[in-house]
Amino acid sequence: MTGAAPLRGSDVLIIGGGMIGCALADRLSLDGASVRVCERGGVASGTTAHGEGNVLVSDKGPGPELALAQLSRRLWPAVLERIAERLPDDAAGIEWEPKGGIVVATTEAGAAALGAFADGQREAGVRCEHLDGDQLAAAEPALTRDVCAAVYYPEDAQVQPAGAATALLGSAVAAGAIVETRCEVTAPLIQDGRLVGVETTRGQRHADIVINAAGPWSGIVSGLLGAPIAIKPRRGDVLITAPMPPTVFHKVYDADYVGAVGSSDAALQSSAVVESTRGGPLLLGSSRRQCGFDDRIQPDSLAAIARKALRLYPILADVAIMRAYGGFRPYVDDHLPVIGPDPRLPGLWHATGHEGAGIGLSVGTAQLISSALAGQPAEVDIAAFAIDRPAVIPSRTEPTQKASR
């Protein structure tokens, strides 16, 4: 965004201090808004703290979500550079790794599907290339040789999610934003049919614009505000190995991952995802399951993750698992984020429903919201993520989710 700060004089209250809320705070503060973030727990303590930090284009087929992912991927380097100039220590904590991704198929049917998927992405502007056996072995020496096809995505990247969120929020605070933790929203403040703020456990907070960025809890927050949206929690678990010497050099996952992401099945979905971290441990995923806000780690999920990771990297058979963690992703039945104004309640906006892609899509989402608030055109049409979609506005008979967090 260029020119004079287009949102100067606007008071914006962001509900949620996760990755999306922090990216919004950063962008809107820089664009001149007076920003306040209200987070019921600690900054980046929910979904953000339980993610892998993916910034991916490889897992999205042609359409609006891929367009948003491409926009975000182009924005990330400039955001990192800007933060590094002012807050170098915070920028270092982001741990930006543009290491690329490799998607493999271990069956002939999977190889055919992966090839068709990659061809469609290429037509949409995604950079990707097929790897032969020798190229794959050079890129990932420890990977199984029992692979029928592999596609390399040089644009895939990774961040340390909590570090990235706090760096974005630090940038916002440096630009004048106010952050309140342990500040839970309890009720709306409505005047003449417009949302003008919220009641919180720390008192009333007024604003011209309220943005619901509460991740999996967005459905609960929207219900409290009187404009419910159908955001559901979708559980995912991750295994973390003991520190290892360099073994995995890209984000590597089985082509089944794309199907698991796009599935609407409430039962356990799992696929092999293996990637390194700067500290040495490997992150092993992934799983998806709809189980409400049940925060218990399920042994069958961990077993499925381990089994499929071993299928890709047999070398992991003797590697110790250091710990496991799980969290909730904000899920929408049509698998698209919810971004923009709520037509039922003036003053209310939403930025949620990114499921497991919120880290990567955060800066693009913030750009869309900022442009829309300023009445400026955006590179990606925000209408694709509109609130008044059948998948987003629930029927009267849909049960309300209750949080156990």
Is 86 within 8 Å of 174 (Cβ atoms)? yes
pLDDT band at 399; cut points 50, 70, 90: very low
The total of structural domains in the chain comes to 2
DSSP class per residue in 96-133: -B---EEEEESSHHHHHHHHHHHHHHHHTT---EE--H
317 in a domain, yes or no?
yes
> Which among 332, 351, 336, 342 is positioned nearest to 387, based on CA atoms?
342
Is 136 within 8 Å of 150 (Cβ atoms)? yes
Whether 184 and 222 share a structural domain: yes
The DSSP element (H or E) to which 262 belongs, if any, is: helix 256-262
90 in a domain, yes or no?
no
| Residue corresponding to tokens 């055109």 | 377
Given a cut of 90, is residue 137 above it in pLDDT?
yes
Q: What is the pLDDT of residue 403?
A: 47
142 in a domain, yes or no?
yes
Q: What is the pLDDT of residues 216-249, one digit of tens each?
A: 999 999 999 999 999 999 999 999 999 999 999 9
Whether 183 and 203 share a structural domain: yes
Is 196 within 8 Å of 203 (Cβ atoms)? no
CA distances from 199 to 17, 202, 245, 344, 393 (A): 17, 8, 51, 19, 23
End residue of a domain, out of 331, 360, 383: 331
**More confident site: 405 or 196:** 196
Whether 165 and 141 share a structural domain: no
Is 278 within 8 Å of 287 (Cβ atoms)? no
Residue 27: partners with Cβ closer than 8 Å, 6 or more residues away: 363, 366, 367, 369, 370
Cα–Cα distance measured from residue 271 to residue 37, given in angstroms and rounded to the nearest whole number: 35
What is the token pair recorded at 271? Answer: 């696929």
Whether 248 and 387 share a structural domain: no
* Omega before residue 263 within 30° of 0, cis: no
CA distances from 356 to 47, 67, 108, 265, 335 (A): 9, 16, 28, 16, 10
Cα–Cα distance measured from residue 93 to residue 333, given in angstroms and rounded to the nearest whole number: 34
Given a cut of 50, is residue 397 above it in pLDDT?
no
Domain span at 346: 11-83+161-230+334-392
At 310, is the secondary structure helix, strand, or coil? helix
Helices (H), 124-179: 133-139, 161-174
> Which among 70, 65, 66, 1 is positioned nearest to 29, based on CA atoms?
1
End residue of a domain, out of 279, 308, 331: 331
SS3 assignment for 376-404: CCCCCCHHHHCCCCCCCCCCCCCCCCCCC
Whether 381 and 369 share a structural domain: yes
363 in a domain, yes or no?
yes
Sign of CA dihedral 33, 37, 43, 49: negative
End residue of a domain, out of 289, 307, 331: 331
Q: What is the pLDDT of residue 6?
A: 86
pLDDT band at 74; cut points 50, 70, 90: very high
Whether 167 and 262 share a structural domain: no
Cα–Cα distance measured from residue 194 to residue 250, given in angstroms and rounded to the nearest whole number: 48
pLDDT band at 1; cut points 50, 70, 90: very low
pLDDT band at 259; cut points 50, 70, 90: low
Q: What is the pLDDT of residue 9?
A: 86
Q: What is the pLDDT of residue 263?
A: 60
What is the token pair recorded at 185? Answer: 């929203």
| Residue corresponding to tokens 């989402």 | 365
Q: What is the pLDDT of residues 35-48, one digit of tens each?
A: 999 999 999 999 99
